[in-house]
C-alpha cells in the first residue's frame, strides 16, 4: 500500500493536466458518424469475462461502457479493440457496483450511516475505490441516495436511511471518498448518484413499484442528498426505475433536465438503470422501442444501460425529424467530456501487474473501524453488557453466527464469505480463554451466558428483496425462548439489512446490539463491543417499527389536527398498537452515561438572512469512555405551509473520556432555516423557531428564537 501512495503522488499531476478538454470534445464530435455517436450512448451489461461480442462492438466504435467486466486482462482485451481498432480510438469506461467495498467489504451503507461519522464513510469508499481501480474499474454505481421510510423495501440496506440532512452528509462523504480531488487520479473512481429520483418511496415497499410524491416532498426530502452530491462534484447520475407522478423517472424531463441540470447545475452525464429505457413500454408510457428511445433521450438520459433502443431506433427517428441531431450531440458531448476529464484518453489501459487481492492489514483495520463505529446498542437492561470478565462457558446460538455471507450482506462486490470474520470467529478470537460453544439449532443448557445471532441471511435484503413481514425467523425466536428459560444473561446480536419488528425478543432479551451487515471485519467489531474493548456509539438512521402495520414510519412526519398525543378517543392513532416506533430515529445507547446541559442561543431574534449559534454542553457521567452523537432539531409554526414535527439540522459525534465535558456548537442559517413555501420557492419565513438538542429525535433540551421580517 505504501507503493500505491507513491504512485498516487506521481500520477495525479499528469491526469490533472488532461482536464478542461472542451475543444478536444468539439473537434472529436465533428468527426463522428451517427453510428459512432450512438456508440457513445451505449453501455453493455456485459459478462464478467471479456467476450468476442464486446470486443467486436468496441472495435466498431459501437460501445461506450461496460458493466460487470472486471479484471485488468479482461478489461484490456476490450479496451484495445476500442483504442487500437476503432476509427476514432475513443476509450471505454468500465463500471461495476462497488456499493460498500470491492474485495474488502465494509458495513452496508445503512450501517455506515449509523456511525453518524462522514469521515468513516469517506475512508471506506476511498479504500473501496483503490481496490476496484486495481482491477481496472473506473466507475462505480454508488452512492445510492434514495431516502427510505419503508423498511419493507429491501434497498433500504443500500441507502442512508430516512433523513435528508443525514443523507446529504453521507452523500458528500461518498463522493469525496470515491473521487477525491480528481477522479482521474490513480486509485479513484467516478461516482454515480442514484437513483434519480423518488425510488425509495416505492408503494407498499415493493421494489420497482410506482411512487406518488408531492413536489414539496420531492424538493425537501428526496432531492437534498442528490443536490449534495452535485455540490461535491459527482460525475454521473443514474435515472431510476420508478414511475413518478405519471412519468417514469427515466423519461422525466422535469427531474432530469429542469431540476437536475437547470436548478442544480449538474454538468456530468446520466446513465439509465438496467433496461429502464426499454421498461418505459412496460410502464405503459412508451408505445414501442422507438417511442421509449425518443422519450428517454429527450428527457435527459444520456447513456442507455444494457438495452439497445438508442442504437436501434434513433437513426430512423433522426431521419424522420423526430429527434434533433443537437439532442444526440449534447448527450455525446457530456459522455466524451467525462471520459477526457477522467483521463481515459491518456491512460486507457489497466495495469495487468496489479490485482485486488485478499484484504490486507490496512484494509481490515479500516473495515473494522467502520464496523465498530456502525454498531448501535438498542437495549442494555441492568448493564448486561459488556460481559462480565471470567465467563467460563459462552454459548453462541443461531445459524447466522457462523455465516460469512450474512456479515457481508447484499451488493458485496468481489468479497469472499470465506475471508469474512463471522460473529462466532470474532468471539473466539476475542476470548481464547473462554470455552465458546456453538449451535445453529438447539440451546446449550449449561452455559454461563448466551449470545443469540439473529436476523436476516445475506440475500434477504437488497434489490428485489422486499418483505411483507419484518419479524424474526421462527428458528431465531425458538432459540431465544430456549436461552431465556435458562435464567442466564442473554444478549441478541442482529444481522440484518433493514429495520425489523422485534416481537419475541425486544421485551424479553435484556441487551440487543444492532450490527446490521457489518462486512469483512464484522465479527471482530461485534466481539469488541460484547467484551467492552469498544463502547458502541452508533445511532439509528431509520426508525424501527413495532409492527409492519405502522409503516411507512419516520420521525419527521407532519402533525395533524388531532395528533395522537391527545387523550381524546378521536385522534390519529391505532386501536391495537402505539403510534410511536420501537426505536426512534437517532436512537442509540452507550455503556456509559451522557448528559446534556446549558443550552444557549446566540440571539433571541435574528433577521431573515441572519443566523443563530446554538450551543450546549455534553458530559460523560459514567464509568468508561464513550461517544455521544449530539443532535440538533428544529420545529416551525405559524408559517405559510405546515412543517414536520421535527427536522434534523445538525449533528456531532463527540468522544469523551470518563468525567469529561465538552461544548458543542451548531449554526442555523438560511440553508437550515429555509423551506419551500406556499409559492414553492425556497425562502426563510419569519416567525418562531423551536430548537431541540438531544441524543435522539425524541426529547432533549429545548429553546426558541424568532426570525424577524
The DSSP annotation for 633-649 comes to EEEE-SSSS--BS-EEE
Peptide bond into 428 cis (omega under 30): no
pLDDT at 14: 32
Residue 560: pLDDT above 60? yes
Distance separating alpha carbons of residues 65 and 138, to the nearest angstrom: 10
Grid coordinates standing for 165? 440532512
Do residues 454 and 493 make contact, with C-beta atoms less than 8 angstroms apart? yes
In our burial notation (b when 16+ CB lie closer than 10 A, e otherwise), range 211-250 reads bebeeeebbbbbbbbbbbbbebbbbbbbbbbbbbbebbbb
pLDDT at 51: 58
Sequence-separated (6 or more) residues with CB below 8 Å from residue 242: 195, 198, 199, 201, 202, 208, 209, 210, 211, 248, 249
For residue range 138-178, what is the model confidence (pLDDT) as tens digits? 999 999 999 999 999 999 999 999 999 999 999 999 999 99
User: Phi then psi for 582, rounded to 5 degrees?
Assistant: -65, -45
Q: If you count them, how many residues does the chain have?
A: 709
Q: With bands split at pLDDT 50, 70 and 90, how would you rate the model's confidence at 183? A: very high
User: Phi then psi for 616, rounded to 5 degrees?
Assistant: -155, 160
| Residue 467 maps to a domain | yes
β-pairing, 612-620 with 661-668?
A: antiparallel
Residue 526 CA from chain centroid, whole number: 21
Q: With bands split at pLDDT 50, 70 and 90, how would you rate the model's confidence at 8? A: very low
Strand partners, 303: 271
Sign of the C-alpha dihedral computed for residues 339, 341, 342 and 343 taken in this order: positive
- Please tell me whether residues 336 and 294 are part of one structural domain: no
| Residue 575 maps to a domain | no
- Please tell me whether residues 168 and 231 are part of one structural domain: yes
Strand partners, 616: 664
Distance separating alpha carbons of residues 47 and 62, to the nearest angstrom: 17
Among the listed residues 97, 243, 273, 275, the single catalytic one is 273
Q: With bands split at pLDDT 50, 70 and 90, how would you rate the model's confidence at 589? A: very high
| Residue 684 maps to a domain | yes
- Please tell me whether residues 116 and 15 are part of one structural domain: no
Eight-state DSSP code of residue 32: -
Distance separating alpha carbons of residues 705 and 701, to the nearest angstrom: 14
- Please tell me whether residues 384 and 344 are part of one structural domain: no
Of 515, 534, 550, the position where a domain reaches its end is 550
Distance separating alpha carbons of residues 135 and 94, to the nearest angstrom: 10
pLDDT at 16: 35
pLDDT at 18: 42
Q: What is the mean pLDDT of residues 303-307?
A: 97
Grid coordinates standing for 261? 441540470
Task: Mark whether 273 is an active-site residue.
Answer: yes
Side-chain-side CA neighbours of 260 within 13 Å: the count stands at 29
Distance separating alpha carbons of residues 254 and 243, to the nearest angstrom: 13
Grid coordinates standing for 442? 438447539
| Residue 440 maps to a domain | yes
Do residues 112 and 161 make contact, with C-beta atoms less than 8 angstroms apart? no
Q: Which long-range contacts does 26-34 make (Cβ < 8 Å, 24+ apart)? A: 26/333, 28/88, 28/90, 28/336, 29/329, 29/332, 29/333, 29/336, 31/88, 32/88, 32/332, 34/314, 34/315, 34/318, 34/325, 34/328
- Please tell me whether residues 116 and 259 are part of one structural domain: yes
- The CATH number linked to 519 is 3.40.50.1700
In three-state secondary structure terms, 683 is: strand
Q: With bands split at pLDDT 50, 70 and 90, how would you rate the model's confidence at 389? A: confident
Q: With bands split at pLDDT 50, 70 and 90, how would you rate the model's confidence at 1? A: very low
- Please tell me whether residues 87 and 137 are part of one structural domain: no
Of 355, 374, 403, the position where a domain reaches its end is 355
- Please tell me whether residues 217 and 348 are part of one structural domain: no
pLDDT over 70, % of the chain: 96
For residue range 590-624, what is the model confidence (pLDDT) as tens digits? 999 999 999 999 999 999 999 999 999 999 999 99
Mean pLDDT of the chain: 95
Q: Which long-range contacts does 573-579 make (Cβ < 8 Å, 24+ apart)? A: 574/549, 574/550, 577/546, 577/547, 577/549, 577/550, 578/546, 579/550
| Residue 586 maps to a domain | no
Distance separating alpha carbons of residues 76 and 74, to the nearest angstrom: 6
The number of domains in the chain is 4
State which residues form the domain around 514: 361-550
Peptide bond into 195 cis (omega under 30): yes
Residue 505: pLDDT above 90? yes
Side-chain-side CA neighbours of 300 within 13 Å: the count stands at 24
Distance separating alpha carbons of residues 481 and 484, to the nearest angstrom: 5
For residue range 626-676, what is the model confidence (pLDDT) as tens digits? 999 999 999 999 999 999 999 999 999 999 999 999 999 999 999 999 999
For residue range 30-89, what is the model confidence (pLDDT) as tens digits? 999 999 999 999 999 976 444 569 999 999 999 999 999 999 999 999 999 999 999 999
| Residue 585 maps to a domain | no
Grid coordinates standing for 156? 433500504
- Please tell me whether residues 293 and 429 are part of one structural domain: no
- Please tell me whether residues 158 and 17 are part of one structural domain: no
| Residue 148 maps to a domain | yes
Sequence-separated (6 or more) residues with CB below 8 Å from residue 473: 454
For residue range 450-474, what is the model confidence (pLDDT) as tens digits? 999 999 999 999 999 999 999 999 9
- Please tell me whether residues 117 and 245 are part of one structural domain: yes
| Residue 458 maps to a domain | yes
Peptide bond into 77 cis (omega under 30): no
- The CATH number linked to 659 is 2.60.40.10
Separation in Å, CA 17 to CA 93, 182, 232, 334, 408: 19, 11, 21, 19, 39
- Please tell me whether residues 15 and 110 are part of one structural domain: no
- Please tell me whether residues 46 and 147 are part of one structural domain: no
β-pairing, 435-439 with 605-606?
A: unpaired
Amino acid at each position: 500500500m505504501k507503493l500505491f501512495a507513491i504512485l498516487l503522488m506521481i500520477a495525479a499531476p499528469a491526469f490533472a493536466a488532461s482536464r478542461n478538454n472542451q475543444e478536444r470534445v468539439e473537434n472529436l464530435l465533428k468527426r463522428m458518424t451517427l453510428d459512432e455517436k450512438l456508440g457513445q450512448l451505449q453501455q453493455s451489461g456485459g459478462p464478467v469475462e471479456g467476450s468476442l461480442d464486446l470486443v467486436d462492438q468496441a472495435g466498431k466504435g459501437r460501445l461506450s461502457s461496460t458493466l460487470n467486466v472486471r479484471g485488468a486482462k479482461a478489461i484490456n482485451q476490450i479496451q484495445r479493440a476500442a483504442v487500437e481498432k476503432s476509427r476514432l480510438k475513443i476509450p471505454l469506461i468500465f463500471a461495476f457496483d462497488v456499493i460498500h467495498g470491492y474485495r474488502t467489504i465494509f458495513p452496508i451503507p445503512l450501517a455506515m450511516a449509523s456511525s453518524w461519522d462522514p469521515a468513516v464513510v469517506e475512508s471506506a469508499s476511498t479504500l473501496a475505490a483503490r481496490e476496484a481501480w486495481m482491477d481496472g474499474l473506473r466507475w462505480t454505481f454508488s452512492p445510492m441516495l434514495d431516502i427510505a421510510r419503508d423498511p419493507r423495501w429491501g434497498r433500504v440496506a443500500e441507502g442512508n436511511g430516512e433523513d435528508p440532512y443525514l443523507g446529504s452528509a453521507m452523500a458528500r462523504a461518498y463522493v469525496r471518498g470515491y473521487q477525491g480531488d480528481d477522479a482521474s487520479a490513480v486509485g479513484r473512481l467516478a461516482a454515480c448518484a442514484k437513483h434519480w429520483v423518488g425510488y425509495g418511496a416505492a408503494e407498499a415497499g415493493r421494489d420497482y413499484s410506482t411512487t406518488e410524491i408531492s413536489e414539496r416532498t420531492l424538493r425537501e426530502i428526496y432531492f437534498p442528498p442528490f443536490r449534495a452530491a452535485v455540490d461535491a462534484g459527482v460525475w454521473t447520475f443514474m435515472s431510476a426505475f420508478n414511475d413518478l407522478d405519471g412519468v417514469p423517472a427515466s423519461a422525466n424531463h422535469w427531474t432530469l433536465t429542469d431540476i437536475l441540470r437547470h436548478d442544480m447545475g449538474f454538468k456530468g452525464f446520466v446513465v439509465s438503470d438496467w433496461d429502464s429505457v426499454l421498461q418505459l413500454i412496460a410502464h405503459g408510457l412508451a408505445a414501442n422501442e422507438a417511442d421509449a428511445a425518443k422519450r428517454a433521450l429527450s428527457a435527459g438520459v444520456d447513456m442507455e444501460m444494457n438495452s439497445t433502443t438508442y442504437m436501434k431506433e434513433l437513426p430512423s427517428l433522426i431521419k424522420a425529424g423526430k429527434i434533433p441531431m443537437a439532442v444526440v450531440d449534447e448527450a455525446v458531448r457530456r459522455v466524451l467530456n467525462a471520459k477526457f476529464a477522467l483521463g481515459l484518453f491518456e491512460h486507457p489501459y489497466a495495469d495487468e501487474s496489479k490485482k485486488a487481492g485478499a484484504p490486507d492489514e490496512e484494509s481490515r483495520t479500516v473495515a473494522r473501524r467502520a464496523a465498530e463505529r456502525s454498531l448501535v446498542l438498542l437495549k442494555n437492561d441492568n448493564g448486561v453488557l459488556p460481559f462480565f470478565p471470567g465467563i467460563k462457558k459462552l454459548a453462541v446460538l443461531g445459524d447466522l453466527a457462523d455465516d460469512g455471507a450474512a456479515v457481508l450482506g447484499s451488493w458485496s462486490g468481489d468479497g469472499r464469505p470465506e475471508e469474512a470474520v463471522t460473529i462466532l470467529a470474532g468471539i473466539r478470537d476475542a476470548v481464547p480463554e473462554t470455552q465458546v460453544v456453538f449451535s445453529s439449532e438447539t440451546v446449550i443448557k449449561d452455559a454461563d451466558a448466551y449470545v443469540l445471532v439473529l436476523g436476516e441471511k445475506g440475500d434477504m435484503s437488497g434489490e428485489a428483496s422486499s418483505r411483507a413481514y419484518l419479524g424474526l425467523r421462527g428458528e431465531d425466536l425458538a432459540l431465544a425462548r430456549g436461552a431465556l428459560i435458562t435464567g442466564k444473561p442473554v444478549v441478541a446480536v442482529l444481522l440484518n439489512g433493514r429495520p425489523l419488528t422485534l416481537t419475541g425478543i425486544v421485551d424479553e432479551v435484556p441487551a440487543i446490539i444492532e450490527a446490521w451487515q457489518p462486512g469483512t471485519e464484522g465479527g471482530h467489531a461485534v466481539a469488541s463491543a460484547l467484551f467492552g474493548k469498544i463502547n458502541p456509539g452508533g445511532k439509528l438512521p431509520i426508525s424501527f417499527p413495532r409492527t409492519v402495520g405502522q409503516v411507512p414510519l419516520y420521525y419527521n412526519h407532519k402533525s395533524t389536527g388531532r395528533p395522537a398525543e391527545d387523550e381524546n378517543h378521536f385522534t390519529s392513532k391505532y386501536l391495537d398498537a402505539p403510534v410511536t416506533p420501537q426505536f426512534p430515529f437517532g436512537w442509540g445507547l452507550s455503556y456509559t452515561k451522557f448528559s446534556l446541559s446549558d443550552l444557549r442561543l446566540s440571539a433571541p431574534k435574528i433577521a431573515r438572512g441572519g443566523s443563530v449559534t446554538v450551543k450546549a454542553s455534553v458530559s460523560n457521567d459514567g464509568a468508561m469512555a464513550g461517544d455521544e452523537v449530539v443532535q440538533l432539531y428544529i420545529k416551525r409554526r405559524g408559517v405559510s405551509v405546515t412543517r414536520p414535527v421535527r427536522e434534523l439540522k445538525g449533528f456531532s459525534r463527540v468522544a469523551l473520556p470518563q468525567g469529561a465535558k465538552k461544548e458543542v456548537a451548531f449554526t442555523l442559517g438560511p440553508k437550515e432555516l429555509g423551506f419551500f413555501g406556499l409559492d414553492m420557492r425556497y425562502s426563510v419565513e419569519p416567525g418562531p423557531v423551536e430548537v431541540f438538542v438531544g441524543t435522539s429525535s425524541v426529547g432533549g433540551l429545548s429553546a426558541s428564537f424568532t426570525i424577524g421580517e
